[in-house]
Structure 1
Amino acid sequence: MPTDLKQAALDYHANPKPGKIAIEITKPTATQRDLSLAYTPGVAEPVRAIQLDRELAYRYTAKGNLVAVITNGTAVLGLGDTGALAGKPVMEGKVVLFKAFAGIDAFDIEVDTHDPDIFIDTVARIASGFGGINLEDIAAPHCFRIERELRERLDIPVFHDDQHGTAVIISAGLINALRIAGKRIEDARIVCLGAGAAGLASMHLLTTLGARREHILMVDRQGVIRADDQHANEYQRIFAAHTDRHTLAEACVGADVFVGVSGPNLLTAEMLSSMAENPIVFALANPDPEIDPSLALATRSDVIMATGRTDYPNQINNVLGFPYIFRGALDVHARSINDAMLTAAVHALADLAHQPVPDSVLKAYGLDALSFGRDYFIPKPFDPRLIDVVPAAIARAAADSGAARTAPGA
């Protein structure tokens, strides 16, 4: 990062007051009567009501619009294990995005432990006051167990955005990219470089959308994860392939899709050249992708490409997903965020990219025109239609799948 931008980032977080968030009071506190209702003695009435019926917490408290953004700081951005406190600026940033894009209130919570049992127990004990839990920046493989056990213990949505938020946006983009390439997801041969939280969750969601597990090759630092190789962990073994291919270069030969959630400059021009016609490349490492887009386009004029960066077309950005997924889940007091709801988000995002683009989006990005095609197959983060389209799809899917406590629009 340029020196001037580094200082600007520090100044942004420090001034005019430290941090990025504050608390807003939603009820009047101007008179003695106001205080008697807000606190003693009036507050005893909702306490008694909730004691008799826990569901009334959605009516009498902020629970129904409140999310906890929780980390242990073991996988903060691309910075690694920074510790819980150093992860706080990122968690505050997530809180800002929840509020700015979906009107959701959120608190950031940093749990200072590397022990997954302590983390799980801590989160479970504080969860009842929230409408949902957004897990963030927790290293694999502990993140998988943490999410699974919290989902089993809690009756509110538990969502690891690094897994499922990323998976939703990748899947929505890939559905449309395959359409542009003239290919079916059932036939697509997919290489995923990066077998951590984002890669595994994305491949799982793609299989629910029709991708065939036998057509997926997962690749980590040691090469293709194969059935005859024991280096993979229990979560990676789900995608262990029966193949004689060992390296990334071998995996790319004839592949229709490359998804990179790994590191910079790992996909070479030679590897791209070996892929099938109309290759789809999602090079999502930030800030430097697995292959530079200019090199990719110089190598293959038929490449269909997405990155994680704002300065290239087709940005795979989680802000397209998690605020709206939680908005829809909270609106129906959902007990969980399940595969049906994630699939609904995928299709809502994919379908939106086919619609005419509002003038406000063109203005925000300094564009004269934008329409579905190779340079636009995933909506832009500032598209004002997202808040109407995605939460509604989530809420319907929650109701249809039995995850909702209340009906959409109730």
Structure 2
Amino acid sequence: MIPPADVKEGETVMSEEETDHNAIYQEALALHEEHRGKLEIRSKVPLETRRDLSRAYTPGVAEVCRAIQKNKDLAYRYTLKGNSVAIVTDGSAVLGLGNIGGYAAIPVMEGKAVLFKKFAGIDAFPICFENYHSDFVEEVRNIAPVFGGINLEDIAAPKCFEVEEALQDIGIPVMHDDQHGTAITVLAALLNACRVTGKEFDDLRVVIIGAGAAGYAISRLLRCIGYNPDVCSPVREIVVCDTRGIIHRNRKGLYDNKYKFILADETNRSGKTGSIADALEGADAVIGVSGPGVLSPDMIRSMNERPIVFAMANPVPEILPEDAKRGGAYIVGTGRSDYPNQINNALAFPGVFRGALDAYATRISDEMKVAAAHAMANFVVRPNREHIMPAVLDKGVTTTIAKAVKEAAITAGYSRTL
């Protein structure tokens, strides 16, 4: 390529997209410096007179403490607990940056807190542990009294699975959003993709690329493994791929990873082996939660008629929408906001936690997750190829999901009566 006239030989020419990204990075630094972060705490009550102080603090606050001591559930009535979520991370898998630790994770967790407030009116606060290696579960358990829910965030697999599982008995909803928020959103997208393509959900052959937190949770939800069969309908078949290709029961090395072993046991019933390309032959849908560029137009051509392609790696998807369509993709979704059909867990977690808090829920159950997915899908009244998902910025999505989640919590018996 001949460089522009104003570029000297040997200098790098940045693309328009790279230039725009660099501008955003600099603007982000300036924004965070100007405001010293994105969160602040404000009082809900007046503190102008001595009587104000006596009611909000001592001596009046002692009576509130005595009431809660007699019945700890009254913390939901008298304190911030009923509308608060802790966003907990150990900084081990932040965005695509990897194990950057608790300090560097703060801006991301602050951003998540802003989304909670903007979309669901929830007061969320970052709790960032710095490369924590002791009993992480017990430390999280010990902060639970303050919060009505815990959103686990950016914790590396397999630790994320173990932490979430160990915290299900603490009496408040605990959800690893990278797993279940993503899975809920994918289920909603797949339901509407079936409405558009005419495919039957329970007849789908699905390939999932990526066997980490998101891939594991998506596969289990789509196959209803570990879910109440009365509320969950499975797809026909799932094949999961990682960087070594298809995960199957006879593959060497699976015993080194408990969760890949589980995937091998619970999916790929036909015993397929080989590469990602082999997995896609005859598939109805492919869901990418891995990395950039692992799919090609030729792979899409080998799929079943009217193929569904969800390429969700960010910022660069497994295949660009234009390339997927060149390969014959009928519906394409990505995790990005600059393409149609954004499939992003920001559509799920505000409504899920809003509904859980409104129900004073003790956990986030199977019924609540499935209800959230169907509410999200049904929010799009007339889906089409370019519009199978609600807009992330549409607050009506949160309200609709929250109502469905609250009702599911009450029906399933996971709500409190104060």
TM-score, length basis structure 1: 0.92
Tell me the CA shift for residue 388 of structure 1: 2.6
Verify: 1:149 aligned to 2:171, yes or no: no
Verify: 1:223 aligned to 2:240, yes or no: no
Verify: 1:135 aligned to 2:148, yes or no: no
Query: Residue 286 of structure 2 aligns to which amino acid in structure 1?
Result: F
Query: Is the 8 Å Cα contact of residues 163 and 197 (structure 1) preserved in structure 2?
Result: yes
Of 220, 231, 240, 1:204 maps to: 220
Query: Is the 8 Å Cα contact of residues 219 and 225 (structure 1) preserved in structure 2?
Result: yes
Counterpart mapping for 1:313-352 below 5 A? 313-352=340-379
Which runs of 4 or more aligned residues in structure 1 lie more than 6 Å from their structure 2 counterparts after TM superposition?
none
Please give the secondary structure, in 2, of the residue aligned with 1:385: helix
Please give the secondary structure, in 1, of the residue aligned with 2:261: helix
Alignment partners' CA distance in 2, 1:225 and 1:387? 36
Alignment partners' CA distance in 2, 1:28 and 1:59? 19
Q: How many residues align?
A: 386
Tell me the CA shift for residue 211 of structure 1: 2.4
Of 69, 73, 92, 2:110 maps to: 92
Query: Residue 144 of structure 2 aligns to which amino acid in structure 1?
Result: A
Query: Residue 171 of structure 1 aligns to which amino acid in structure 2?
Result: L
Tell me the CA shift for residue 238 of structure 1: 2.5
Query: Is the 8 Å Cα contact of residues 143 and 197 (structure 1) preserved in structure 2?
Result: yes
Write the deviation string for residues 25-59 of structure 1: whole angstroms up to 9, x where unpaired.
01111110111111111110011111111111111
Unaligned runs of 5+ in 2: 1-17, 225-231
- Which residue of the partner structure matches residue 56 of structure 1? 74
Tell me the CA shift for residue 304 of structure 1: 0.9
Tell me the CA shift for residue 330 of structure 1: 0.3
Alignment partners' CA distance in 2, 1:304 and 1:34? 59
Write the deviation string for residues 73-111 of structure 1: whole angstroms up to 9, x where unpaired.
111011111111101100000000000000000111101
Verify: 1:249 aligned to 2:262, yes or no: no
Counterpart mapping for 1:22-171 below 5 A? 22-115=40-133, 118-152=135-169, 154-171=170-187
Tell me the CA shift for residue 114 of structure 1: 3.9
Counterpart mapping for 1:384-403 below 5 A? 384-403=395-414
Q: Root-mean-square deviation (CA), in Å?
A: 1.3
Unaligned runs of 5+ in 1: 355-370
Query: Is the 8 Å Cα contact of residues 223 and 238 (structure 2) preserved in structure 1?
Result: no
Alignment partners' CA distance in 2, 1:316 and 1:292? 14
Of 163, 182, 192, 2:198 maps to: 182
Tell me the CA shift for residue 287 of structure 1: 0.7
Query: Is the 8 Å Cα contact of residues 216 and 239 (structure 1) preserved in structure 2?
Result: no
Query: Is the 8 Å Cα contact of residues 347 and 398 (structure 2) preserved in structure 1?
Result: no
Query: Is the 8 Å Cα contact of residues 113 and 119 (structure 1) preserved in structure 2?
Result: no
- Which residue of the partner structure matches residue 281 of structure 1? 309
Tell me the CA shift for residue 303 of structure 1: 2.1
Moved more, 132-141 or 104-113: 104-113
Query: Is the 8 Å Cα contact of residues 119 and 395 (structure 2) preserved in structure 1?
Result: no
Tell me the CA shift for residue 321 of structure 1: 0.8
Instruction: Quote the sequence identity (%).
Output: 49
Tell me the CA shift for residue 180 of structure 1: 1.4
Tell me the CA shift for residue 245 of structure 1: 2.0
Write the deviation string for residues 355-382 of structure 1: whole angstroms up to 9, x where unpaired.
xxxxxxxxxxxxxxxx520000110012
Alignment partners' CA distance in 2, 1:166 and 1:237? 21
Write the deviation string for residues 303-350 of structure 1: whole angstroms up to 9, x where unpaired.
211000111100012121101110000011100001100000000010
Write the deviation string for residues 90-145 of structure 1: whole angstroms up to 9, x where unpaired.
00000000000000001111012342x52111100111110000000000011000
